[in-house]
Amino acid sequence: TVFSAIFAGAEGWQTFDDLVDTESRSILWMQVANSSLAWIVIAFLTSTAGFMLLRLKRGSFSGSLIVLSIFGMVVYSFVNTSLQIAIDILQGNAYEFNVQNIINTLSVPFGWIAVLWVTMTILKGLRQKQAQSERYWGI
């Protein structure tokens, strides 16, 4: 997690150094945030995976950390997409609000929403099965 945070800072600094003379300040800071965002999410996911492993070893795994990880990916995909759209608009490119363009732009965030819904449904079903029977499913 610490290394991911260091890499996020290094990636942001490299982007800042590359674009400081060529881009306006608003575009520059959005580019820095967008370039560091992936490493920030990696740090979040590795922390969550560590907590999952600890809870699994203790026998108190509930599946909520899986949902939290996938929710983090939903947030990341929306933030990443919105930053890319904002950068394109600030650079003077036009964003057309038609159905095909919106579907192409938001397909990844909506895909992560679908994964989140499926995961929550599976976990809810496993919890109900565990409550009805004597078998422990680990959820």
**pLDDT at position 77, please?**
95
Closest C-alpha to 16, from 4, 3, 37, 30: 30
- The answer to whether position 117 is within a domain reads yes
Q: Is residue 93 part of a domain?
A: yes
Containing domain of residue 18, as a range?
2-132
pTM, two decimal places: 0.80
Say yes or no to pLDDT of 139 above 60.
no
Q: Evaluate whether residue 15 is within a structural domain.
A: yes
133: pLDDT strictly greater than 80 = no
Q: What is the pLDDT of residue 102?
A: 87
pLDDT-above-70 percentage for the chain: 95
**Is residue 137 over pLDDT 60?**
no
| Residue 137 belongs to a domain | no
Q: Tell me whether residue 138 is in a domain.
A: no
Give the number of domains in the chain. Answer: 1
Q: For residue 105, which of 82, 75, 71 has the smallest C-alpha distance?
A: 82
Distance CA 44, CA 73 (A): 10
What is the three-state SS of 3-16?
A: HHHHHHHHHHHHHH
In a domain, residue 139? The reply is no
The answer to the question of residue 127 being in a domain is yes
**Structural domain contains residue 109:** yes
22 or 54, which is more confident?
Answer: 54
* CA separation for the pair 81, 72 (Å, rounded): 14
